[in-house]
């Protein structure tokens, strides 16, 4: 493992690359500068990168001495539509765009892993495929790359990816067997009634009152319909209806998200939402129409691949720093893990003393950069170990 330790120079380059990408964030499928940086760096390391995979994605191969299995290391490259509020030298130069999820770090870590893997002894057998993905944030970039053949030529046998995680102290790594991140559904409920004068409700069918009860009643799905040993969330994030204080409107629109880990819960949630919304509306003389879109499937780790990541983490951070932590956030790496065994895991990037405590997607989000070399070692380590077995 010693040759898979980043040198001082490599760590300096890792941090400066992350800061460079952080200062120049790009939205989903617009990662042109980032993709060019990635492909230039890879070329400089002696790789032959392929660009334009899944629109703005980049791939590169590192072949072992003999053919064998192929393992993918994935990093996402996109930023978010958010105005950065941090006062740091590497603050975003692009107004209204920010690396507020840590994908700048993911890309930089994968580049350093690429560098370490290149200078290390090549794997005896097999191929390492580097995957720099666009559009993780609501753009299904993983699917775009799958459709463009990222899992073929050579056929991919295993996949690994990292998310830096500000809910976990730097120096710790979270690895989970089975479901790790959630299935994500987005839904809209349109509650229709009959509007009228606010002082004469008897002549109306009030969709505001019905909607208020629907918001409350939807919470009973998690409390009463879902197995208490399973995790699920139903959140209403938007309510729109009405214009004036004294007019009962004709309709109210609710928008929300449902999250779950378990396949059965995932399958059943839409039916529960439909039943609760329509029957509650009916009780108020209104109707409810539901539209639901399945945005992401659950991210499910293969237990054997998770164990392989734990083996590497024992060497990188020590057994006492390996924890179990899940989130009901969603992740499009799920699409890859639905097709090949693998493991997605968190590398802690939180530091209370340094004030690196803000959640992902916050305009104050920033990481403890001490997480970066840990992530690079983990990526390089799991690829090597996978091919060594």
Which residues contribute to the site for Zn ion (CB under 5 A)? 101
CB nearer to Zn ion: give 101 or 232: 101
Token pair for 77: 């490259």
CB nearer to Zn ion: give 101 or 114: 101
Please identify the residue of the shown chain whose CB is closest to the bound Zn ion: 101
CB nearer to Zn ion: give 205 or 259: 259
Task: Check 78, 157, 366, 368 and give the catalytic one.
Answer: 78
Q: How many CA atoms lie within 13 A of 172 on its CB side?
A: 16
Q: Kindly state the smallest distance separating residue 163's Cβ from Zn ion, in Å.
A: 6
Q: Kindly state the smallest distance separating residue 360's Cβ from Zn ion, in Å.
A: 5
Structural contact between residues 263 and 179, judged by C-beta atoms closer than 8 angstroms = no
Q: Which phi and psi (to 5°) does residue 18 adopt?
A: -60, -40
Give yes or no: 136 in active site. Answer: yes
Q: Kindly state the smallest distance separating residue 361's Cβ from Zn ion, in Å.
A: 6
Spatial distance between the Cα atoms of 202 and 206, rounded to a whole number of angstroms: 9
CB nearer to Zn ion: give 101 or 316: 101
Q: Kindly state the smallest distance separating residue 331's Cβ from Zn ion, in Å.
A: 7
Task: Check 136, 137, 185, 368 and give the catalytic one.
Answer: 136
CB nearer to Zn ion: give 99 or 192: 99
Residues 6+ apart with CB under 8 A from 135: 28, 29, 31, 54, 55, 56, 76, 78, 141, 144
Give yes or no: 253 in active site. Answer: no
Q: Kindly state the smallest distance separating residue 289's Cβ from Zn ion, in Å.
A: 30
CB nearer to Zn ion: give 139 or 207: 139
CB nearer to Zn ion: give 35 or 101: 101
Token pair for 368: 């403890």
Q: Kindly state the smallest distance separating residue 107's Cβ from Zn ion, in Å.
A: 12
Spatial distance between the Cα atoms of 101 and 95, rounded to a whole number of angstroms: 17
CB nearer to Zn ion: give 79 or 190: 79
CA angle, 149 as apex, 51 and 186 as ends, to 5°?
Answer: 95
Structural contact between residues 93 and 150, judged by C-beta atoms closer than 8 angstroms = no
Q: Kindly state the smallest distance separating residue 238's Cβ from Zn ion, in Å.
A: 19
Spatial distance between the Cα atoms of 115 and 225, rounded to a whole number of angstroms: 50
Q: Kindly state the smallest distance separating residue 170's Cβ from Zn ion, in Å.
A: 17
Active site residues: 78, 136
């Amino acid at each position: 493992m010693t040759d898979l330790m980043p040198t001082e120079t490599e760590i300096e380059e890792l941090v400066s690359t992350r800061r460079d990408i952080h200062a120049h964030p790009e939205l989903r499928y617009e990662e042109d500068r980032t993709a060019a940086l990635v492909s230039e760096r890879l070329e400089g390391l002696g790789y032959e990168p392929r660009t334009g995979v899944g629109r703005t994605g980049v791939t590169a191969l590192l072949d072992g001495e003999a053919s064998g299995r192929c393992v993918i290391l994935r990093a996402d490259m996109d930023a978010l539509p958010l105005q950065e509020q941090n006062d740091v030298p590497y603050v975003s130069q692009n107004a209204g765009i920010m690396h507020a999820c840590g994908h700048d770090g993911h890309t930089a870590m994968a580049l350093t892993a690429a560098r370490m893997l290149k200078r290390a002894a090549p794997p005896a057998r097999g191929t390492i495929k580097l995957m720099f993905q666009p559009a993780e944030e609501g753009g299904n970039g993983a699917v775009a790359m799958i459709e463009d053949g990222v899992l073929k030529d050579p056929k991919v046998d295993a996949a690994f990816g990292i998310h830096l995680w500000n809910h976990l102290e730097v120096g710790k790594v979270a690895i989970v067997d089975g479901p790790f991140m959630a299935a994500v559904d987005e839904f809209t409920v349109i509650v229709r009634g009959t509007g009228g004068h606010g002082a004469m409700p008897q002549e109306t069918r009030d969709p505001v009152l019905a909607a208020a009860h629907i918001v409350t009643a939807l919470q009973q799905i998690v409390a009463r319909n879902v197995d208490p040993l399973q995790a699920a969330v139903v959140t209403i994030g938007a309510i729109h209806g009405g214009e004036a204080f004294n007019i009962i409107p004709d309709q109210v629109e609710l928008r929300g998200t449902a999250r779950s880990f378990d396949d059965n819960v995932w399958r059943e949630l839409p039916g529960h939402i439909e039943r609760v919304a329509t029957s509650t509306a009916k009780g108020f003389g209104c109707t409810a129409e539901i539209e639901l879109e399945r945005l992401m499937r659950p991210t499910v780790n293969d237990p054997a691949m998770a164990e392989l990541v734990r083996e590497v983490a024992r060497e990188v951070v020590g057994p006492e720093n390996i924890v179990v932590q899940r989130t009901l956030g969603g992740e499009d790496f799920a699409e890859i893990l639905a097709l090949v065994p693998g493991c997605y895991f968190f590398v802690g990037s939180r530091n209370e003393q340094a004030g690196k405590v803000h959640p992902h997607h916050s305009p104050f989000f920033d990481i403890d950069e001490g997480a970066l070399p840990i992530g690079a070692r983990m990526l390089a380590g799991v690829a090597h170990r996978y091919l060594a077995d």
